Chain A
Amino acid sequence: MIDLNNLTIVSARAKLDAKEFSAVELAQAYLDEIKKKNGELNAYLEIYDDVLEQAKLADDRISKGESLPLLGVPLAIKDVILIKGRKVSAASKILENYVAPYDATVITKLKKQGAVFLGRTNTDEFAMGGSTENSAYGVTKNPHDTKRVAGGSSGGSVVAVAANLALGALGSDTGGSVREPASFCGIVGMKPTYGRVSRYGLIAMGSSLDCIGPVAKNAEDTQIIYDAICGQDVLDGTTINDQTYLKPILKKVIGVPWDLVNGKGVDIKVKENFKQSMENLEKLGFAVKDISLKNLDMALAIYYIIMPAEASTNLSRFDGVRYGMHKDGKNLLEDYLLTKGAGFGKEVRRRILLGTYVLSAGYYDAYYGKAVIARDLLKKEFARVFNEIDVIATPTAPFVAWKIGEKSDPLSVYLADIFTVTANIVGVPAISVPSGFTEVEGKKLPLGVQFMAPHGAEDALFEVGGKLNMV
């Protein structure tokens, strides 16, 4: 029996290379776990039928003496990333039977390493949400308390890793969709610098915000997946190279916007846990400094203008003409109306309408135009504050995972993103690492701390995040 609970990507690599177990045996161990638990947790929407064949190919490479960090490592892939010849639905009815005609660049890179894809994981429809409650295929449950949400939108990928149904995973993060569920489920999730990881083959939501990000049990494993998927790509013009941003020298100073952390709406248990985490970092030799950014509290408002605006534009392509669901009406206009009406779920329809509103004549300047300027101001404030500090720390989410169905109005769910959206708006990398547990109604629920670093300084996140991770 393979001890999946204590297995990491690093230890699996050593054991695979030492022939303690084969990639086929490892994949089978995960398939057995999935069979036992996925019915209840709903992390995967589909388990691929060729997992063992993929693992066999990895074993052939290992037996020839090849060793790559992810060779034979079983991964879960969020249902918004294209793998050629396999279904990808964005957890939406409108793409229910869509089959990807090409590989996303991140998939091409993982295939070269010989990673094994177990299946595609649940998400909020088109990655729109913070709980996976918006999936057209049912909610993903939190393994720490199955009455609670896993977080989202990458809830399926995160639960797959947290419940030992995969050794690592890919998610996507537009406003916290990798970090928030990682925090709710007690593992590590990371959003790279905007442009660091190619988005060729990622189903788009907000194009100036979207990033593909790794999910794993600890910071070291997260970095291994990140290293495997990052890099400039001719197929994605927004990707950056190593020279795009200067590498800062670490000063061992952490900045905390205490005003925001101590603000209303942040759970007292979250505040206490966060303070404890900062004290732990001080014991490790970091200085913790109070920072103040004038427009930081505007981040969520900026986000909920820019994101729906971009999403409404991106999602206009799903019209039943070339692929996906098609509802037949009397004429072309009726085809559109019926297809989009039936194919998109509630939250997606809501965001498309919201985006259409903030972009419409008469409101454009007041909402979208203003948000673009505010975004620029915030970017400049970040650049200034990063002269004095290495990373900015906040809690990842203002509260623990909520009960399934508890939050019925959309705004109350949006408020969960208060700490995470900023990194997407500014384009900086950010990571969520576990910071302990708090007991709620007899269950131990995980909490997380988020670190944000300057553009291109992912190394600083792994350095600081890794240290807190080990406390």
Chain B
Amino acid sequence: MDIKDVENLAALSRIELGEDEKREILSDMDSILGYVKQIEAVEVDDVKTDYGMVNVWREDKIEPCEFSQDLITGQFPSAQDNFLKVKKIL
């Protein structure tokens, strides 16, 4: 891993990093990845993973849900006529 990889990850994660922090994270990543790399040693010849998934769909019935609309809309960083306002995307 090098500083370019850190910059790429930061861009993918939409996080702005300072130059000092990039170097710090690079060294942290080396030590953490160095540790978790031991996962390579796990023998997985013909393991079939059993995720234990079960279906938890429920009936499509309308039921009242208690939440405060005012508290939600009141926390919009930017709003107009009670709608969430965002910058243009295209």
Question: Which residues of A are at the interface with B, using a C-beta cutoff of 8 A?
Answer: 84-85, 98-103, 234, 237-238, 295, 298, 300-302, 304-305, 312, 316, 319-324, 326, 331-333, 335-338, 340-342, 344, 346, 349-350, 352-354, 356-358, 360, 366-367, 370-374, 376-377, 409-411, 414
Asked whether B76 lies within 8 Å of A322 as measured between CB atoms, the reply is yes
A319, A346, A370, A409: the one contacting B39 at CB < 8 Å is: A370
Alpha-carbon gap, A352 to B67, bound state (A): 30
* B interface residue numbers (CB < 8 A to A): 5-6, 9-10, 12-17, 21, 25, 28-29, 31-33, 35-42, 44, 47, 49-51, 56, 58, 65-69, 71-72, 74-78, 84, 86-89
* Contact (Cβ within 8 A) A340 B49: no
The answer to whether residues A376 and B49 also contact, given A84-B68, A409-B31 and a CB cut-off of 8 A, is yes
**Residues on the A chain within 8 Å of B9, using CB:** 353, 356-357, 360
Bound form: Cα–Cα A350–B32 in Å: 10
B68: which of A85, A237, A326, A332 is its contact (CB, 8 Å)?
A: A85
- Contact A373-B44, Cβ < 8 Å, known A354-B29, A367-B39: yes
Other than A298-B41, A353-B13, A354-B32, give 10 A-B pairs with Cβ distance below 8 A: A99-B75, A298-B42, A301-B36, A322-B77, A323-B75, A331-B87, A367-B39, A374-B42, A376-B51, A377-B44
Task: Tell me the minimal C-beta distance from A262 to chain B in angstroms.
Answer: 19
Residues of A within 8 A of B12 (CB): 356, 360
A410 and B14 contacting across the interface, CB-CB below 8 Å? no
Of B29, B33, B39, B74, the contact of A302 (CB 8 Å cutoff)? B39
Q: How far is A402 from B33 in the complex, measured between Cα atoms in Å?
A: 24
Selected A-B contacts with CB under 8 Å, 20 pairs? A98-B75, A101-B71, A103-B66, A301-B39, A319-B14, A321-B86, A323-B75, A332-B89, A340-B13, A340-B16, A349-B17, A353-B9, A354-B32, A354-B33, A360-B12, A366-B40, A372-B49, A376-B50, A377-B42, A409-B28
Q: Which of B44, B69, B77 contacts A323 (CB 8 A)?
A: B77
Q: Which one of A102, A302, A377 lies within 8 Å of B47 (CB-CB)?
A: A377
- The smallest C-beta distance from B39 to any residue of chain A, in angstroms, reads 5
B16 to chain A: which residues have CB within 8 Å?
337-338, 340-342
**C-alpha spacing A376/B68, complex, angstroms:** 41
Residue in A333, A338, A373 whose Cβ sees the most chain B Cβ within 10 Å: A373
Q: Give chain B residues whose Cβ lies under 8 Å from the Cβ of A410.
A: 28, 31-32
State the CA gap A312–B67 with chains docked (Å): 27
- Once the chains are docked, how many angstroms separate the CA of A301 from the CA of B33? 9
In the complex, A84 Cα to B67 Cα: how many Å?
A: 8
Contact B29 A326 (CB under 8 A): no
Chain B min CB distance to A408 (Å): 11
| Interface pair A353/B29, CB less than 8 Å apart | yes
Contacts of A411 in B (CB 8 A): 28, 31-32, 35
Mostly, the A contact residues are helix
Cα(A370)–Cα(B77), bound, Å:
41
Q: How far, in angstroms, from A305 to B38 measured CA to CA in the complex?
A: 11
Q: Does the CB pair B75–A322 fall under 8 Å?
A: yes
Residue contact B75 to A352, C-beta cutoff 8 Å = no
User: Which residue of B is nearest A344, CB measured?
Assistant: B15
Chain B residue nearest to A366 (CB atoms) is B40
The 8 closest A-B pairs by CB, nearest first: A341-B16, A326-B77, A101-B71, A102-B67, A336-B14, A237-B56, A337-B16, A323-B75
Q: Which B residues are CB-close (under 8 A) to A374?
A: 39, 42, 44
Name the distance in Å between B2's Cβ and chain A's nearest Cβ: 13
Checking B21, B35, B49, B74 against A304 with a beta-carbon cut-off of 8 angstroms, the contacting residue is B35
Q: Contact partner of B42 among A101, A295, A312, A356, CB < 8 A?
A: A295
Complex Cα–Cα for A319 and B14 (A): 9
Which residue in chain A gives the minimum CB-CB distance to B69? A101
Considering the complex, give the chain B residue whose CB is closest to the CB of A237: B56
Shortest A320–chain B CB gap in Å is: 6
Chain A residue nearest to B42 (CB atoms) is A374
Considering residues B21, B42, B58, B71, which has the most beta carbons from chain A within 10 angstroms of its beta carbon? B42
Chain B residues contacting A324 (CB-CB under 8 Å) are: 75, 77
B78 touches A298 (CB 8 A): no
**B-chain residues with CB within 8 Å of residue A101 when the two chains form the complex:** 67-69, 71-72, 75
Do residues A350 and B28 form an inter-chain contact, with CB atoms below 8 A?
Answer: yes
Are B42 and A352 in contact, with the CB atoms below 8 A?
A: no
Give min CB distance, B16 to chain A, whole Å: 3
CA distance A335 to B89 in the complex (A): 12
Q: Which residues of A contact B78 (CB under 8 A)?
A: 326
Residues of A within 8 A of B29 (CB): 353-354, 357
Complex Cα distance, B89 from A340, in Å, reads 18
When chains A and B are docked, how far (Å) is the Cα of A341 from the Cα of B25? Answer: 14
Contact B44 A353 (CB under 8 A): no
- In whole angstroms, what is the CA distance A84 to B70 when docked? 12
Contact status B25-A350, CB under 8 Å: yes
When the two chains form their complex, are residues A322 and B32 in contact, meaning their CB atoms are under 8 A apart? no
Which A residues are in CB contact (< 8 Å) with B69? 101
Q: Distance in Å from the Cβ of B75 to the closest Cβ of chain A?
A: 4
Name A321's contact: one of B37, B72, B77 (CB within 8 Å): B77
